[in-house]
């Protein structure tokens, strides 16, 4: 089955700097890669996703890149703000299979 | 994004009692819902996949007689933790996915913090 590895587990950046979180997956059949933000005591919130027919997607300060050959995808947050502090999860799935999550990255943006 | 409502957000119950958690998709029909469990500072662990009108599919190691799942309609799935014990205390989260909405997005509920005393 699918296995998703996520790094780093914790990340601290200064406000205004960029943050990058990386994930790798094992199943070449996976074709959907969402990223979720989870704040304390809340459910995960979808922030951006990418499908395997696209190499990059951007939404304001957030971007995701996908390298199908290397089986890795990354989340990029630019101009970070304190409210970006949260736990971020990557995930992968193929078709209607359940999402397989990475272990999460705790991002702290220091003002 | 789509709205998934989970209720209650917090519940405290006594050992031996049962607790029901509801998951509703408010603005779309969810043919498939998923139930996850999350321990502090850990990732989401899939417990079961719930398909409308059929039996749930449980992940290995999850007791189906303890965690009863019912998906009676396209907008509602329920998880009942039966004969709860302190080790069942956890954060339970549902998600809903519809094949009719632009692909395979899964939208999550707010989560339910269960504390068994």
Q: Which of B58, B101, B94, B103 is nearest to B76 (CA)?
A: B94
User: pLDDT tier at B99 (50, 70, 90 boundaries)?
Assistant: low
Alpha helices in chain A (DSSP H): none
Chain A residues closer than 8 Å to B105 by CB? 34, 46, 49
Percent of chain A with pLDDT over 90: 90
Query: How many angstroms separate the CA of residue A2 from the nearest CA in chain B?
Result: 13
Backbone angles phi, psi at A28, to 5 degrees: -65, -15
Q: Rounded distance, CA B116 to CA A106, Å?
A: 28
Q: For B70-85, what is each residue's pLDDT tens digit?
A: 988 889 999 999 999 9
Distance from CA of B24 to the nearest CA of A (A): 14
B99 at A interface, C-beta within 8 A? yes
At B17-59, the pLDDT tens digits run 999 999 999 888 888 899 999 999 899 999 999 988 888 999 9
pLDDT(A47) > 60: yes
**What token pair was written down for B107?**
């939208």
Closest CA to A44 of B13, B114, B52, B43: B43
CB contacts < 8 A, A to B, total: 51
* Pick from A35, A26, A25: nearest CA to A76: A35
Q: How far is B59 from chain A (nearest CA, A)?
A: 11
């Amino acid at each position: 089955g699918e296995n998703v590895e996520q790094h780093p587990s914790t990340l601290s950046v200064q406000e205004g700097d960029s943050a990058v979180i990386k994930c790798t997956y094992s199943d070449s059949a996976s074709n959907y890669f969402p990223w979720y933000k989870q704040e304390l005591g809340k459910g995960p919130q979808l922030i951006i996703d990418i499908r395997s027919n696209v190499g990059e997607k951007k939404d304001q300060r957030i971007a995701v890149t996908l390298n199908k050959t290397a089986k890795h995808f990354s989340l990029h947050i630019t101009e970070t703000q304190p409210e970006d502090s949260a736990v971020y999860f990557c995930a992968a799935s193929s078709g209607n299979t359940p999402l397989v999550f990475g272990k999460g990255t705790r991002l702290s943006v220091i003002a | 994004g789509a709205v998934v409502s989970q209720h209650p957000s917090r519940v405290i119950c006594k050992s031996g009692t049962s607790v029901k958690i509801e998951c509703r998709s408010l603005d779309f029909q969810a043919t498939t819902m998923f139930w996850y469990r999350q321990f502090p500072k850990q990732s989401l662990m899939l417990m079961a996949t719930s398909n409308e009108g059929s039996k749930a599919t449980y992940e290995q190691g999850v007791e189906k007689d303890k965690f009863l799942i019912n998906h009676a309609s396209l907008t509602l799935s329920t998880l009942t933790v039966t004969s709860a014990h302190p080790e069942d205390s956890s954060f339970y989260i549902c998600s809903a996915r519809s094949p009719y909405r632009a692909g395979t997005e899964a939208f999550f509920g707010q989560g339910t913090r269960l504390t068994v005393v």
